[in-house]
A = this chain, B = another copy of it.
C-alpha cells in the first residue's frame, strides 16, 4: 500500500469516527445548487464557497469546462435531484489555458485521425461565457435554471464575477 493511500485511509478513519450519523443526509442537495469547477489541486470548492456535506453538487474536470459528461451530470442534477442554480467556476493559472489542443496531441504523440478535444482555451472569461452559452442553449436545459460565471483567483482565494455572464 502506497504512502498516499495509507494517509488517505488514516484521515478517513478520523473522519468516520467523527461522522454525525444523526444528520442522515439524503441525495438531493439541501441548497438546490451545483458547482462546476476545475480538478485543479489548489481549489477546494467546499472551503472557498462555504459548503457543508449535503449542500450542493460539485462537478469537476480539467478546466471546469462544459463537456458532454458535464451536461449529463447537470441534467441529472436538476431533473432527478432538484438543483435550480448552477455556478461555473474557472480559475487563474489554469493548465488548460497554457496549452493548445495540438500541443497536447503532440505530447501524447496522437495522430490527426485520433485527435481528442482537450477543451483548452485562450481566454478565461470567454471560455466561461462559451460554456454558459452551451448550457443555456441545450434543448434539455430549462430556461428557469440560473447560471452564473466566476473566476477563482489562485493567488488570493477570491471569486471574481464574470460580469457579462449574466447576459449570456
Contacts and interface: CB of A to CB of B under 8 A. Distances in A.
A2 B87 CA distance: 12
B61 A53 contact: no
A39 B58 contact: yes
A134 interface: no
A159 to B, nearest CB: 5
Total copies of the chain: 2
A105 B51 CA distance: 31
Interface string A147-158: 010000011111
A158 B16 contact: yes
A75 B71 CA distance: 20
A19 B43 CA distance: 12
Interface string A37-57: 001111110111111111111
A contact residues, range: 35 or more
A167 interface: no
Given A62-B76, A104-B80, A48 B159 contact: no
Given A47-B53, A61-B69, A4 B75 contact: no
A152 to B, nearest CB: 9
Contact of A157 (B19, B31, B41, B118): B19
Interface in A10-45: 10-16, 19, 21, 24-25, 27-34, 39-44
8 contacts: A5-B85, A8-B87, A15-B47, A27-B40, A27-B94, A39-B57, A60-B60, A72-B118
Q: Please give me the 3 A-B residue pairs with the lowest Cβ-Cβ distance, nearest first.
A: A11-B50, A19-B157, A69-B69
